[in-house]
Chain A
Amino acid sequence: MNFNEIQELIKLVNKSNLTEFKLKDKDFEILIRTEKYHKGAQQNVVSGHQMMPSFQQPLSSPAAVNQPIQKADESSVTAAPEAPKGKNVVEIKSPIVGTFYRSSGADKPAFAKVGDQVKQGDVVCIIEAMKLFNEIESDISGTIVKVLVEDASPVEYDQVLFLVEQ
């Protein structure tokens, strides 16, 4: 598999209801675990051919390459080893569409860094839409374990911004 195909595969798995996907092809093997896996969601095992819709989505689709809304690390292969095992990790998701900023200004410190403790109601980031700067508050308390979006990048509704360990 080339990089584009792997990228497409990750997107496809993430959009499905699967918690875990394993593919073995001769010497090549890939294991993808999604956020749902870490939440311990009960999912039925489905056989590979049922997962895809009946049309063939070419895995090296050129359309995939220019996606500006990159869901960085959302369900990548690195998610499995980095997340703490056996702990309760919850997501903070974007409630709106806009541009994500980690601080209130270029020279200001980030609202929430990895390792920071946040309380319910603390501002964790700013999302700007149409010149309006919305302060996004955390609805949970815990420790930030991962920041999933780069500063000044576009985010969509329900996009995962932070992982918080409770």
Chain B
Amino acid sequence: MFNKILIANRGEIALRIIRTCKEMGIKTVAIYSKADAESLHVRFADEAVCIGPPASSESYLNIPRIMAAVEITNSDAIHPGYGFLSENANFADICRQSGVKFIGPTSEMINKMGDKVTAKETMIKAGVPVIPGSEGLLKDVKQGIKIANQIGYPVILKATAGGGGKGMRIVTRDEEFENSWDSARKEAKASFANDGIYIEKYVEEPRHIEFQIIGDQHGNVIHLSERDCSIQRRHQKLVEESPSPFMTPELREKMGDAAVKAGKCINYEGVGTIEFLVDKYRNFFFMEMNTRIQVEHPVTEEVIDHDLIKEQIKVAAGHEVSGKNYYPSMHAMECRINAEDVFNGFRPSPGKITSFHSPKGHGVRVDTHVYAGYTVPPYYDSMIAKLICRAQTREECIKKMQRALDEFVIEGIKTTVPFHKALMKNEAFKSGDFNTGFMNTFNIDDCIE
């Protein structure tokens, strides 16, 4: 087992990893930028190294500085968390060359799944159903229009290096194609330095249902069932839950099998998530794979009752997975609490938190790095806490979430708590009958202060 892990991340996930490391008797090293000197992950790690100024490019994304910190602390493994360098194949490679274990997949696995076009080709070979679309990147508008007519409108243009909803455009007819093509390429170039675009059939009103998998270094892959992440705003997830209200035992078997097949065909090592789109007929299609631990991993933890970070560290140290799949034994939901002003277009609201009380009690979990007196810096993403509830049934879970949100006090900045309160009272959400188009029908005026 590892002696010392350096956490190449910040915020709540850094604290999350530190907690599990402590339970496992592993020493921890926190790295931080000047803006995070007061952060909790810095306080609770055994050692902490300041690696740069606030800008991510000079700190959390800066590989030489991070490797220097590994060196002076004699860390033998790095946990990359999510975001930042967690899916950077170059970083995984540098760790391997430096003799430090990157807690995650190899650079080859990251490359295979990180490029959306290559991932899709790999899935087709593995026999996993995929969304009909272009084979490879689009050459030009003419080819695009031809394929669009073959697979049928509406179609969606997507950036091959994309993520977070950027570089995507829906096209409903030939006349719109050229403008959407130009605009998607521009955005992709600006966001990912890669303007490669591919095309897919746009699955209307799909549900986003993802499967958690774990692969070990011995070729075994298992799945831990699904999370439904259909409640999204501009392709950013707001709420996740398990089990999916749309799931049936038969569908779970089929999708779980497909997810395990996907992991096995690339010999996947580590925790990963296979994202599927599911149409109203319960046909499912591979969308993409995330080769890291995800923000919403606590939802799965709460329904299968295992520590996913611990399992992640164990497979990185060479342990074998159990060989069986895991199924949800209760219902759990997560609300992502962001420092955003819901009444002003969800614009970011950094600043000092003057008062903070997080909800507690039976079935309530809060993963957060903030506290009263903490200043939310403007340099990083806006998520400040994850509120996770679990209960025997979905109905009770929602009631618990309502209670917990009412108890949540965060003053000094604006947060998305009012949005979540309204969501938990929304009839469509409560019925379980929703898809990724849900936020288009949601009225912001329903938000409860």
Contacts and interface: CB of A to CB of B under 8 A. Distances in A.
A96 B68 contact: yes
Given A15-B37, A130-B71, A96 B47 contact: no
Contacts of A96: 65, 68
B50 A158 contact: yes
Interface residues of B, number: 29
A53 B372 contact: yes
A69 interface: yes
Interface in A72-125: 96-99
Contact of A69 (B49, B52, B373): B49
A53 B69 contact: no
A157 interface: yes
A98 B68 contact: yes
A157 B34 contact: yes
Contacts of A159: 50
B48 A69 contact: yes
A157 B65 contact: yes
Given A57-B43, A69-B47, A158-B50, A129 B71 contact: yes
B371 interface: yes
Nearest to A65: B46
Contacts of B372: 53-54
A35 to B, nearest CB: 14
Interface in A38-71: 50, 52-55, 57, 63, 66-69
B46 A66 contact: yes
A66 B72 CA distance: 14
Contacts of B68: 96-98, 129-130
Contact of A63 (B34, B46, B51, B69): B46
Chain A interface main SS type: loop
B38 to A, nearest CB: 7
B18 to A, nearest CB: 11
A55 B371 contact: yes
Interface string B365-386: 0000001111000000000000
Contacts of B219: none
B73 interface: yes
A97 B38 contact: no
Interface string B18-62: 000000000000000010011010011111111111000000000
Interface string B313-350: 00000000000000000000000000000000000000
Contact of A158 (B34, B44, B69, B71): B34
Given A54-B371, A69-B48, A154 B73 contact: yes
B60 to A, nearest CB: 12
A159 B68 CA distance: 15
Contacts of B52: 157
B64 A129 contact: yes
B67 interface: yes
A137 interface: no
B82 interface: no
A56 to B, nearest CB: 11
B443 to A, nearest CB: 35
B44 A98 contact: no
A57 B42 CA distance: 12
B356 interface: yes
A20 interface: no
Interface string B60-99: 0000110111011100000000000000000000000010
27 contacts: A53-B372, A54-B356, A54-B373, A55-B40, A63-B45, A63-B46, A66-B46, A68-B72, A69-B48, A96-B65, A96-B68, A97-B51, A97-B68, A97-B69, A99-B72, A129-B67, A130-B64, A130-B98, A154-B49, A154-B72, A156-B49, A156-B50, A156-B69, A157-B52, A157-B65, A158-B50, A159-B50
Shortest beta-carbon contacts, A-B, top 5? A129-B68, A154-B72, A54-B372, A97-B68, A156-B50
Given A15-B38, A98-B71, 11 more contacts: A53-B372, A53-B373, A54-B371, A54-B372, A66-B46, A69-B47, A96-B68, A97-B50, A154-B49, A155-B72, A157-B65
